[in-house]
């Protein structure tokens, strides 16, 4: 026997051979499964609830799940920015002050292309769609 195998047996002990008689560490009558019942007699899959619909199958009926990594972005159309004076610098905080948004979302505000921007304003701290960028540039406004 090699020194490695010898040391391994000394440190970790012998592997338990379950259900191979009384002399095999874990043998004999119940073999570590307790006394009687379905789980003592056969392999029962985890999540098994005795024939009742298991919880993991009921979750879609209960209400599914909510994605924890979802990005919460508020969408604002370009035409809503006409509420601001010409030449002013617009930020997401000002949208909340004007009442366009109820509260500032965690992942920011995105401008979407709808309507027309009729005033020259400067926008700071927004993300925007390609169409919204075109509408902003056409009105003479700038994105900082």
Structural domains in the chain, sorted by start: 1-33 (no CATH), 74-143 (3.100.10.10)
Task: Please provide the DSSP assignment of 21-53 as one string.
Answer: -TTSSS-SSSTTS-SSSHHHHS---TT--TTSP
Buried b (16+ CB within 10 A) or exposed e, 112-140: bbeeebebebebeebebeeebeebbeebe
- The C-alpha atoms of residue 81 and residue 118 are separated, in whole angstroms, by 9
Structure confidence at residue 99 as a pLDDT band (50, 70, 90): very high
State the pTM of this model: 0.55
Give pLDDT tens digits for 2-18: 777 777 777 777 777 88
């Amino acid at each position: 026997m090699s020194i490695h195998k010898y040391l391994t047996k000394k440190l970790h002990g012998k592997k338990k051979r379950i259900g191979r008689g009384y002399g095999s560490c874990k043998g004999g009558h119940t073999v570590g499964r307790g006394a009687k019942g379905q789980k003592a007699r056969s392999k029962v899959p985890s999540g098994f609830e005795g024939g009742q619909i298991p919880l993991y199958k009921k979750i879609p009926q209960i209400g599914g799940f909510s994605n924890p990594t979802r990005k919460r972005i508020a969408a604002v159309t370009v035409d809503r920015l006409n509420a601001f004076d010409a030449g002013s610098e617009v930020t997401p905080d000002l949208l909340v002050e004007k009442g366009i948004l109820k509260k500032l979302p965690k992942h920011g505000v995105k401008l979407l292309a709808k309507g027309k921007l009729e005033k020259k304003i400067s926008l700071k701290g927004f993300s925007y769609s390609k169409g919204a960028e075109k509408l902003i540039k056409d009105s003479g406004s700038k994105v900082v």
